[in-house]
Structure 1
Amino acid sequence: MKIKPFGVEIWMNEFENHCEFNLAETCVASLTIEQLLELSGKNSDVLDDLKPMKLTYGAIEGSDRLRDAIATLYERQERQNIVVTHGAIGANALVHETLVEPGDHVISVRPTYQQHYSIPESYGATVDILHLRPEIGFLPDLDEFANLIRPDTKLIAINNPNNPTGALMDAGYLEQFIEIARRSQTYVLCDEVYRGTSQTGDGFCPAIADLYERGISVAGMSKTFSLAGLRLGWIAAATEVLEAVSIHRDYNTISVGMLDDYFAALALENKSRILERSHRITRGNLQILDDWVSNEPRISYVKPQAGTTALLKYDFDMSSREFCVSLLEETGVMFTPGSVLHMEGWLRIGYANNPEILKTGLEKVSGYLKRLEERGVPFATETIT
């Protein structure tokens, strides 16, 4: 099997450990173990739980405790509708591996996480791209979607909230999207790893698994819950989907680690305090970013409605990789070039880290933009409004 290089992961691997201000990070500022224990009230007695724990294989599907905790994130899912995976990335890969065969027809939005179009393509599927455009807020054009779907379409892959744009399909929009998919009884895989980060209310948008009988929700502990180091995710779906997934999962997962399972359950059982922290960071930091964009005439964007990332359009005639490499070399600030997301001419910023890092990093970017003008770098011929 041949597969295209994973652009964003290659970029992160090349530069992430060589920057001073990481504005490419996509997780809400990661928790330390000490912070997690403090938020969960387990400071003094956690060792009483861990010392007798035998470090054997864990429960194959994930512990009952963990799957029950995950189910509380949904309206209509119970323990039997949840299977635990090696991160959301593992969950996505398992769904594609289970459902997609050579010759199948798949629809994926773009921009999105590259798994959702490169993996099915590597299996020999025909992948049609539903392009998300800034003029409609980076939401799927429902008429275009209806024209792409076929009676034999096997799978539709979406990302809600969207990475990298922060666009959000609310309940009404998602229902319209589902109604189109339902005409062909097509499975919809929704990568919901940023669910819980909406800028209003409790932060949670509807889950596809709760709304659609062929909806498959994927999420994990990395983004909203600030625990990427656990490498723990899950699939929420109808039991017949999970039974099919489990046949493939037996070959590459067995179980997640006992410690990962334990700490993920602990976090989800105390999710209200973690979510309060996440909302404080994402909502406060987006205001910082929005104020900065409004004062930078060479930068424009569609303001995110959720998530931890935004796409920035820059008004200079240079490639996004050239922009990001020179920015990093001159300032220590790391962005992600749009080219690795198949969005040349744009930059992805992660705004959910420490607020002081964000503020200082953006100040340095402002200085860099000013120097580009002073050097006479030509302006781009197209900008968004």
Structure 2
Amino acid sequence: MIPQSCKIEQFFGQWESSVTYVACASDVDSYRMRDLLDLADPEALALWEGLELGYTDPAGHPLLREAIAGQYTRTEADHVTVCGGGAVEALFLVTNALLGPGDHAVVVWPAFEGLHRVIPALGAGFTTVRLDADHGWRLDLDAVRAAFRATTRALFVNFPHNPTGALPSRADFEALIALAAEAGVTVVSDEVYRYLEFEPGTTLPAASDLGDHTVSIGVLSKAYALAGLRVGWMATRDKALTRAARGIKDYTTVCASAPSEILALIALRAREQLVARSRRIILDNLVLADAFVRRHPGALAWEPPRATPMGFPKLLLPVPVEDFVRDLALEQGVLLLPDSVFDLDDQRFRIGLGRTVLPEALERLDDHLARRYRS
């Protein structure tokens, strides 16, 4: 069964090509390949220059899997499966491997569509546990516990969080993993924004390092600003889950692109440089966005994000947020993402902090507020 249509992709398909400023992107301005190759060490550069464009190892190039495993403390290369369809494929594989008819999952909400759209297509059901917007987007662990059923097989979480930028404490995250383990539930942890935390020392441990029945999902699209490589991965010490996911992968991408794998290897070995660039862009824009919200207290309010290249402000004006987004796109060429894409109706929109054109987009947003809502 095919999952229902993907709202976010339909939204961008409708609007992205017709605006000047995409001010709601979930990634960072892309890295140029020439600049990336300049960071290659001799071994990786030799692999690139001698690359043959054939099929690759279905599980991923051994050196690439070693580089991915290097981000973790207890997760080894054999626990890693490289996905040529990015994090979306990794989530698809894990969800199909874990759930079937009659099964149940719990999803922390709001959520990226890959964390929940596939579940009903498998004949499974899910319960949402909503982050508390009034208390810094806090996750209620008691609510998670109450959502578990005898048929619950998986808990889907995403921290740092899209679209709110929320980040729990290490103690709360570890308590969440322990709670799932006690209930016999596998934690599927979408960690694509890992390393984009704003405060030093707040990077959470990877879920795959905290238990035998946990999965960490990663990708090069976000912190590394390399979405065009389409390289993601799943990492888990659950051998049965790895076997099942790799078997399903034989019917999706089979293997990753050979050039993408070597470029991914270069990127992971130069992680500090790439992540530092992404953080610099995001933090510069965060200052501007926070000042902008504060200048418009009658129109906007937000809990500033603690991580990720995005925030989730609330529109205080007496106009539906979808109409506001539409008018802004048509009149100013600036695109924001309404919360209806996340199956919410809370008058919120996602704003992206990862693009260097954000200052110009904010100027147009300022003009739009002045022209239409001056009073």
Q: TM-score, normalised on structure 1?
A: 0.92
Q: Distance in 2 between matches of 1:371 and 1:109?
A: 38
| Superposed displacement of residue 58, structure 1 | 0.8
Pairing 1:124-203 to 2, within 5 Å after superposition: 124-201=123-200
Inter-partner Cα distance in structure 1 for 2:10 and 2:265: 31
Alpha-carbon contact 1:158-1:189 (below 8 Å) kept: yes
Counterpart for residue 225 of structure 1: 224
Structure 2 residue aligned with 1:348 = 350
How many angstroms apart in 1 are the aligned matches of 2:2 and 2:256? 27
Taking the aligned partners of 1:3 and 1:311, their CA distance within structure 2 comes to: 26
Structure 2 residue matching 1:165: 3-state secondary structure = coil
What SS does structure 1 have at the residue aligned with 2:284?
helix
Deviation at 1:203, TM superposition (A): 6.7
Residues 1:326 and 2:340 aligned together: no
Q: Which residue of structure 2 aligns with residue 314 of structure 1? A: 315
Task: Provide the residue aligned with 1:4 in structure 2.
Answer: 4
Code of the aligned partner of 2:57 = A
AA matched with 2:281: I
Q: In 1, distance between residues paired with 2:253 and 2:34?
A: 29
Q: CA deviation at 1:106?
A: 0.7
Q: Determine the structure 2 residue equivalent to 1:379.
A: none
Shift of 1:312: 1.0
Residue 86 of structure 2 corresponds to residue 78 of structure 1: no
Return the alpha-carbon distance in structure 2 between the equivalents of residues 228 and 335 of structure 1: 20
Which residue in the other structure is 2:55 paired with? 57
Q: Tell me whether 175-184 or 216-225 shows the greater mean CA deviation.
A: 175-184
Instruction: Map Cα deviations across residues 106-140 of structure 1 (whole Å, 9 max, x no partner).
Output: 11111110121221122111211111221122232
Q: What per-residue deviation string (whole Å, max 9, x for no partner) do you get for residues 144-163 of structure 1? A: 11111123311111111110
CA drift of 1:49 comes to 4.0
| 2:302 matched residue in structure 1 | 301
Bigger CA drift: 195-204 or 128-137? 195-204
> CA shift at 1:77, angstroms?
1.1
Match of 1:383 in 2: none
CA contact (8 A) 2:60 2:81 kept: yes
For the 8 Å contact 1:189–1:218, the answer to whether it is kept is yes
Q: Counterpart amino acid of 1:113?
A: F
d(CA) in 1 for partners of 2:370, 2:205: 42
Letter in 2 for 1:70: I
Counterpart CA distance in 2 for 1:40 and 1:176 is 39
Q: 3-state DSSP class of the match of 1:353?
A: coil
**1:350-373 per-position Cα deviation (integer Å, ceiling 9, x unaligned):** 11111xx11111121111112222
Shift of 1:17: 1.7
State the shift of 1:2 in Å.
4.4
Q: Are positions 1:23 and 2:23 aligned together?
A: yes
Q: Which amino acid in 2 is paired with 1:221?
A: L
Counterpart of 1:89 in 2: which secondary structure?
Answer: helix
- Alpha-carbon distance between aligned partners in 2 of 1:105 and 1:54, rounded to the nearest angstrom: 44
Unmatched tracts of structure 1, length 5 or more: 377-385
Aligned equivalents of 1:324, 1:194: Cα separation in 2:
25
Question: Aligned to 1:183, what secondary structure does the other structure show?
Answer: helix
Aligned residue pairs, count: 370
CA RMSD of aligned residues (A): 1.6
- TM-aligned CA deviation for residue 60 of structure 1: 1.4
Q: Is the 8 A contact 2:221 2:230 kept in 1?
A: yes
